[in-house]
Amino acid sequence: MKIGRIERLVLLLLKQNSMNTSALSTILRAKGYVKTTLSVRRAIKNLRTKGLIDHSNKLTKNGIRHIKSMRNNGHTSVNIGELDVNVLGNKLKLGTKEKILLYILTKIDHASLQFLTMITKEDAKNIASVLSRLEDNELVYGYKNMIAFTNARGRRYRPKYYRITSLGIIVSSAIRSEISNMTSAIDALLEDTLKLKSEMSQLRTSYDKYA
- Residues 173 and 100 both lie in one domain: yes
What's the average model confidence in pLDDT over 38-66? Answer: 93
Model confidence pTM above 0.75: no
- CATH code for the domain of 137: 1.10.10.10
What's the average model confidence in pLDDT over 130-154? Answer: 85
- Residues 116 and 43 both lie in one domain: no
Share of the chain above pLDDT 70, in %: 83
- Residues 38 and 127 both lie in one domain: no
Residue 39 covered by a domain: yes
What's the average model confidence in pLDDT over 80-88? Answer: 54
- Residues 84 and 102 both lie in one domain: no
Greater model confidence, 170 or 120: 120
- Residues 99 and 68 both lie in one domain: no
3-class SS of residue 113: helix
What's the average model confidence in pLDDT over 145-167? Answer: 82
Per-residue pLDDT at 41: 93
Residue 211 covered by a domain: no
- Taking the C-alpha atoms of residue 196 and residue 211, their distance in angstroms, rounded to an integer, is 22
Residue 201 covered by a domain: no
Residues with Cβ within 8 Å of 80's Cβ and at least 6 positions away in sequence, in order, are 9, 12, 13, 16
Residue 197 covered by a domain: no
- pLDDT of 80 > 90? The answer is no
- Residues 60 and 145 both lie in one domain: no
- Residues 130 and 165 both lie in one domain: yes
Greater model confidence, 192 or 73: 192
Identify the domain containing residue 131 by its residue range. Answer: 94-191
What's the average model confidence in pLDDT over 42-63? Answer: 93
| Band (12; pLDDT cuts 50, 70, 90) | confident
Q: Phi first, then psi: what are they for 180, rounded to 5°?
A: -60, -25
* Last residue of one domain, picked from the residues 88, 114, 131: 88
- pLDDT of 92 > 50? The answer is yes
- Residues 107 and 183 both lie in one domain: yes
* Last residue of one domain, picked from the residues 18, 53, 88: 88
The number of domains in the chain is 2
- Residues 54 and 104 both lie in one domain: no
* DSSP letter, residue 139: S
- Residues 45 and 127 both lie in one domain: no
- Residues 98 and 187 both lie in one domain: yes
| Interior angle at CA 206, CA 204 and CA 210, nearest 5 | 115
The letter for the amino acid at 91 is K
- pLDDT of 137 > 50? The answer is yes
- Residues 45 and 115 both lie in one domain: no
SS (H, E, C) 46-68: HHHHCCCECCCCCECHHHHHHHH
Residues with Cβ within 8 Å of 108's Cβ and at least 6 positions away in sequence, in order, are 190, 194
What's the average model confidence in pLDDT over 116-132? Answer: 92
